[in-house]
Chain A
């Protein structure tokens, strides 16, 4: 396991763009199938406007990409705080890797099967990791 606490952050950032690629491929195919020509789109149209016209599984990739730009922003801030204040330990590195692995599993689940109870359970587990990291970051920065 890399010794650097920033490594899991770099992996999650890259994963976010992998999801953007997955979103682009599945939305592109669905848009084509629905016969929509985006060069003729109304000015100001946004991805979310396409939702009613596309199959749910195409929208799920987009929901997950959006999700990755929500709570993980807190994760990036917390690991940078820990890194800069001497809070990089086996425990924080382990929690950070757990968070990132759980978020990747969460993405794959949301983009494919997307049964809610399972997604919720994965999200809860990753959030518990983040809560512990956030508490440790407060301790590291105050100390």
Chain B
């Protein structure tokens, strides 16, 4: 069994995060131009302030990018720990792929229709996949 198989989904989600980063700027910069915001003279503002001036669909890309910097950081930590501990193959690799696939679906919902209930359902499913990985890491490193 390839114990590094779990690094595939890790690399995929990292790359997906950067795709959302590109998507965020590809929509945000034209929207800022349309809103006549002169970025050259801004001092000390953050992207959050744009929630008040840009259309929601533009900010949804940023919301999702921020979201990808939240729970997935635990996923990266657990996946790396499982790989280093020789537990990154088989079921754990499949759970990691499920997590990544669900996070990609979650992103696509959040940046397009953004229906809260759909987004919530996909987030809950992804969290369960991550929970299973965390339990396996706990069993492997703490209870073994």
Contacts and interface: CB of A to CB of B under 8 A. Distances in A.
B142 A10 contact: yes
A43 B134 contact: no
Interface stretch (B14-22, B26-34, B36-44, B76-84): B76-84
Interface of A: 2, 4, 6-7, 9-11, 13-14, 16-17, 20, 24, 38-39, 41-46, 66, 69, 72-73, 76-77, 80, 83-84
A6 B56 CA distance: 41
B84 A2 contact: no
Contacts of B57: 44
Interface residues of B, number: 35
A77 to B, nearest CB: 8
A117 B83 CA distance: 40
Nearest to B117: A39
Given A13-B77, A17-B134, A46 B63 contact: yes
Interface stretch (B5-13, B67-75, B100-108): B67-75
A142 to B, nearest CB: 20
A10 B116 contact: no
Interface string B116-132: 11001000100100110
A43 B114 contact: yes
